[in-house]
Amino acid sequence: MNDAYARLQARFTRIATLGEASAVLGWDSATMMPAGGGAARGDQLAVLAGLSHEMLTAPAMADDLDAAQPPADPWHEANLGLMRHAHRRATAVPADLVEAQSRANAACEQVWRGARANADFAAVRPQLTEVVKLVREQAAALSPALNLSPYDALMDGYQRGIGAQDVAPIFADYAKFLHEALPRAEEMQARRGDAIPPEGPFPPAATEALCRRLSRAAGLEDAHSRLDRSTHPFCGGTPTDVRITTRYYEHDFAPSVMGVLHETGHALYERGLPQSFARQPVGEAAGMAAHESQSLIVEMQACRSDAYLGWLGGQLLQTYGGAADRYAPENLGRLTRHIARGFIRVDADEMTYPAHVILRFQLEQALIAGDLAVADLPGAWNDGLQALLGITPPDDAKGVLQDIHWYDGAIGYFPSYTLGAMAAAQLMAAARKAAPGLDAALAQGDLSVLVGWLRTNVHAKGSLLGFNDLLLAATGKPLDPTDFLAHIQARYLTA
């Protein structure tokens, strides 16, 4: 290792540390910060983003990237490649645009909170128009530097190596499958009968305590994590200080419980990243599709399985009391795996969830291409959901206002959700083959067999491998949607 590479490692450690500070400030703005702090918080995040950008684009950084000679080791070679990629992205975007985006995103997010509560898209339209304008400028700047289309350049920021041309046929095939399979699944579900709803109410304090126990039982340590409340559930913080959030409902425990298990999957991934490369690009998660695979393998694949539900029922009965038969595995299965054509993405079942992602994928491509104006988003949203699921939202809170992503400038992210779901099914199939005792462990509420396999095959790999190469190493093949289809058919289309 020469001096140039050593200097690069030191610089990227500092950049990562600034990113960690931004992550904790972002968590605070969503959970603890009073409304009056929004403007100052926007300035704080903008300054940190600007400092990171300055460090990435400094002339000395370019000189060291040219001169760097890492150890002859795949990890360090990959690390240098990721450093060069980060530098290429950063130098393509002017510093004033980086800070302008940070401020616009923070301002728009704050207005969005009130707009969503009041189902008032017009209230946030000016701020979202500015955010989209700046994202389009960012995409236009990145496109030639990365030799990608503008939208693919945005996708690259969330999951490298996957572009719209890869995603579009997968999504088109699933939309066709859903059009035919969803009515059959609904018919079979109707024949089986609805779940008997457990007796409420479900006090938020009791649900929160249960969620803490479930997250801890899944392997997330109290010493390195927090569970808090926010408008939109998320996982943030840092690998040694992971922050997960959810929201609670007096009338229903399931969204909170399953939401926390989902975010726990994200948190376990962060906790399992290679410590020897902490704060280095190669030590980070392999992208957001990879990240979503880890949340969904915990929530959807493991914790909605018959085996885990048998154990979870006892925990629910202990927490809420009431009739024991309401928490029997068969009834819980009907409750937590219920097919419904709903308006809200985060509450959607795993069969219809991809339709929500396909809608957003289509709309954000049109936004970036300039084919769709922000003012026309609500109508386009409603028309798109009607075409995919046959339903129209009653208001914009249940439509275009429901997600934080666009209002925070995150355009190009949504495809990662469904790619992650497909990867989760593929990884689970491989884990079951490698660890035949996995389901027996889940029946005891024990995720250690699954998490142990993931630690070795996914978490500990960091960003050493790209998304498809990571799946190839873990499962013997790159992304293969047939595993997800097989999972959907087995769970929802088998008598």
Active site residues: 263
pLDDT per residue over 350-402, tens digit each? 999 999 999 999 999 999 999 999 999 999 999 999 999 999 999 999 999 99
Distance CA 274, CA 292 (A): 18
- Kindly report the pTM of this predicted structure: 0.93
Residue 42: pLDDT band by 50, 70, 90 thresholds?
confident
Residues 375/125, Cβ–Cβ less than 8 Å: yes
pLDDT at 231: 82
> In the structure encoding, which two tokens stand for residue 486, read together?
């097989």
- Residues in Cβ contact with 421 at an 8 Å cutoff, skipping those fewer than 6 apart: 292, 293, 296, 300, 350, 353, 354, 484
Q: Where are the alpha helices (DSSP H) in 273-414?
A: 288-296, 306-320, 329-336, 353-369, 377-389
The rounded percent of the chain whose pLDDT value lies above 70 is 100
Q: Distance (Å, rounded) from C-alpha 348 to C-alpha 341?
A: 8
* pLDDT reported for residue 308: 98
Q: What does the block give as tokens for 364?
A: 């954000």
Mean pLDDT for the chain overall: 96
- Answer yes or no: is pLDDT of 61 > 90: yes
Token pair 């006892």 in the structure block, residue: 314
- pLDDT digits 0-9 by tens, 271-280: 999 999 999 9
Give the pLDDT mean for 302-313: 97
Interatomic CA distance for residues 58 and 218, integer angstroms:
43
Q: Element (H or E) spanning 49, and its range?
A: helix 38-57
> Domains in the chain, ordered, with CATH?
3-159 (no CATH), 165-492 (1.10.1370.30)
pLDDT at 100 over 90: yes
Q: Per-residue pLDDT tens for 315-348?
A: 999 999 999 999 999 999 999 999 999 999 988 9
DSSP at 346: G
Helix (H, G, I), strand (E, B) or coil at 445: coil
pLDDT score at 1: 75
Are 357 and 155 a contacting pair, CB within 8 Å? no
* Number of continuous H segments (helices) and E segments (strands) in the chain: 20, 3
Residue-wise pLDDT for 170-226, tens only, equals: 999 999 999 999 999 999 999 999 999 999 899 999 999 999 999 999 999 999 999
Which residues in 166-263 belong to E strands, given as ranges?
225-229, 235-238, 241-246
Local confidence band at 312 (pLDDT 50, 70, 90 cut-offs): very high
Q: Is the pLDDT assigned to residue 495 strictly greater than 80?
A: no
pLDDT, average across residues 103-111: 93
